[in-house]
Amino acid sequence: MKDKIVLITGASSGIGKAMAFAFGREGARIVICARNAAALATVRAELEQAGITVLALTADVSVEADVKQLIDQTIAHFGRLDILINNAGISMRSMLIDTDPAVIQKVMDINFMGTVYATRYALPHIIQAKGSIVGISSIAGFRGLPVRAGYSASKFAMNGFLEAVRTELLHTGVHVLTACPGFTASNIRVAALDAHGQAKGETMRDEESMMSAEECADHILRAVKSRKRELILTGQGKLTVFLNKLLPAFMDKMVYNTLAKEKDSPLKQ
């Protein structure tokens, strides 16, 4: 990672922030972006204090012009781009029957179209560097999760998109990694949208029992170094993906029953 230019979207907290530190400690020069300028400035100061070279750029990945400018500013500042990590994401938690379709549209715009925009505009530079494109997806991209239909749809879309792009780039030397954390301690559940598009402001799960964002970031760093095709994290995540292929009807019941136990779950137990 020495002197590699690594761009991480959604890096003001959680896994994105943890990856900025993980890659930065390995000698990479980091570009972090997020919508929240104040939170981004705090992370930039923390990275600089740790001796990591960092460029912080405010951008909304759901806005194509923002993303194009993000890539242009990265190239103008560093002259190259080696690794793009599509991490920016938002979740939602409500039953489909109660959900305003605009909420699902917002989730798709950030999680999926944000990945499309960043990958498209970074691609010429990544091809030139024979670098890496990383998508931070989810187990929800392999197994649809009830009460999170829009989130699952966005991650299924991301997985299919990255698989197609990987195949297109087969003979270019570009590495494409789809990284799928299981439940990881981060801000994503607190910021999850409700049926009307408002942030819920609290988590419905026991965050302390989950994989930490830092551990998740270390796994992703190693996967990029070894140019892995796919990374599925946590024992629960691996088991879910495996059993969903083998016993899908059984998993419908298992997933339902598991998520029905969440705090304030709308699913009947």
**What are the residues whose beta carbons fall under 8 Å from the beta carbon of 243, sequence distance 6 or more?**
250, 251, 254
For residues 32 and 73, the answer to whether their CB atoms sit within 8 Å is no
Tell me phi and psi for residue 188, to 5 degrees: -65, -35
* Rounded Cα gap, residues 40 and 46, in angstroms: 10
pLDDT tens digit string along 146-198?
999 999 999 999 999 999 999 999 999 999 999 998 776 656 656 788 888 88
For residues 23 and 218, the answer to whether their CB atoms sit within 8 Å is no
* pLDDT at 230 > cutoff 70: yes
pLDDT tens digit string along 40-99?
999 999 999 999 999 999 999 999 999 999 999 999 999 999 999 999 999 999 999 999
Instruction: Tell me what pLDDT residue 109 has.
Output: 97
**Tokens read off for 192:** 């999850």
Instruction: Tell me what pLDDT residue 144 has.
Output: 94
Identify the residue whose tokens are 């972006």: 33
151 as an active site residue: the answer is yes
> Would you list the domain boundaries of the chain?
5-235
Confidence of residue 203 (pLDDT cuts 50, 70, 90): low
From the candidates 117, 121, 151, 256, give the one annotated as an active-site residue: 151
Q: Regarding the domain with residue range 5-235, which homologous superfamily does it belong to in the CATH classification? A: NAD(P)-binding Rossmann-like Domain (3.40.50.720)
How many CB atoms are closer than 10 A to CB 201?
9
Tell me phi and psi for residue 230, to 5 degrees: -145, 145
* Rounded Cα gap, residues 112 and 182, in angstroms: 18
* Rounded Cα gap, residues 254 and 200, in angstroms: 25
DSSP conformational letter for 28: -
Confidence of residue 201 (pLDDT cuts 50, 70, 90): low
pLDDT tens digit string along 97-122?
999 999 999 999 999 999 999 999 99
Going by C-alpha positions, the residue among 169, 156, 173 that lies closest to residue 120 is 169
Our separate counts of H helices and E strands in the chain read: 9, 7
Instruction: Tell me what pLDDT residue 159 has.
Output: 97
CA distances from 92 to 19, 152, 160, 178, 257 (A): 23, 9, 20, 21, 19
* pLDDT at 207 > cutoff 60: no
